[in-house]
Amino acid sequence: MIDKLRSIAIFSTVVHQGTFRGAALHLGLAPSRVSAVVSDLERDLGVTLLYRSTRQLSLTQEGRILHAKAQEMLAAAETGLDAINPLSTEPSGALRVSAPAFVTQTALMDDMAAFAKTYPKVALELYFTDQQHDLIKDRFDVAIRAGWLSDSEHLTRKIGDADRLLVASPDYAASKPAPTHPSDLESWDWVRFAVRPDQTELTGKDGTVVSVTGQSHVTVSSADALYEFSARGLGVTAIPEHLACRGFERGDLVHVLPDWSLKALGIFAVWPDQSRRENLTMLFVRFLAEQGACTDQLGKSS
């Protein structure tokens, strides 16, 4: 029975990683060994679990049923490990974390590195992408998200802020009359971020808040793409301060309406109410929050 449970866990890892090679790298086994384990499991069960092609793997109906049950089995095992973990002298286990791609250029990377050094027995799996993952479906323990969170079924904790600046390329800004008020930007082209509202709010030094929509024919899904398209003269955009400062230093960008400010992005940790690795998740979130309290802006590069 123990061998079969191990084979089921390896099968589940293949499904999660998407390839035998990916599962082998994750497990520290040879790809041929992983493939053989799954084939032996199929033979023992008398069913086909995976459709194999040169490009991808896909689950059969029987494979989907077993994978769902395997997820429950692994979650139960991890819950057991979590129950024991507080009794150990040093936290251990795997923690899957999703974070926006722009975080790699911020001081939050220092905090994550500090966590890894402080708790060397915790295996961090960090996925940096501007695509927002489904925590439950994609089996992430915690996600770092930037923005302004609406009501959520998940638990959240704010760990910092990221300032933003309004920028455009020098050539594009020079092609327009110099703006003195946010309303002047209504006729400008805007490079939009897919997960942000079309309206951009700017606040004056006297506290006046003005909302601008402008016109847009380019929408992207990453902060780096906002930078690149704006630097290529496609319009004005709002980007994290560390990216804007990089653009100023390189001469790619200029600050638009510097006397008006944008609302800072909140940086939040988000995790399921019933976390698979509750103790490690809370340890990680508390660590980042405490580190963030010692810095002015998580959005600033260190």
For residue 120, what pLDDT is reported?
93
Q: pLDDT of 95-146, one tens digit each?
A: 999 998 888 888 889 999 999 999 999 999 999 987 777 887 788 899 998 8
**pLDDT above 70 for 297:** no
Instruction: Please give the residue range of the domain that contains residue 58.
Output: 2-81
Q: Is residue 1 very low, low, confident or very high in pLDDT (cuts 50, 70, 90)?
A: confident
Q: pLDDT of 265-296, one tens digit each?
A: 888 899 887 666 677 888 999 999 887 543 44
What is the C-alpha to C-alpha distance for residues 188 and 197, in angstroms, rounded to an integer?
17
Rounded to an integer, the average pLDDT of 226-242 is 95
Last residue of a domain, which of 27, 51, 81? 81
Residues 124 and 178 in one domain: no
Q: pLDDT of 51-63, one tens digit each?
A: 887 677 888 999 8
**pLDDT above 90 for 187:** yes
What is the C-alpha to C-alpha distance for residues 16 and 30, in angstroms, rounded to an integer?
17
Q: How many CB atoms lie within 10 A of CB 87?
A: 6
Note whether residue 302 is domain-resident.
no
Phi–psi pair at 273, nearest 5 degrees = -60, -40
- Of residues 189, 169, 182, 234, the one with CA closest to residue 208: 182
For residue 299, what pLDDT is reported?
42
Residues 6+ apart with CB under 8 A from 190: 200, 214, 215, 216, 235, 236, 237
Q: Is residue 152 very low, low, confident or very high in pLDDT (cuts 50, 70, 90)?
A: low
We report the CATH number of the domain holding residue 73 as 1.10.10.10
Residues 97 and 170 in one domain: no
- The answer to whether the Cα torsion of 20, 25, 29, 30 is positive or negative is positive
Residues 148 and 272 in one domain: yes
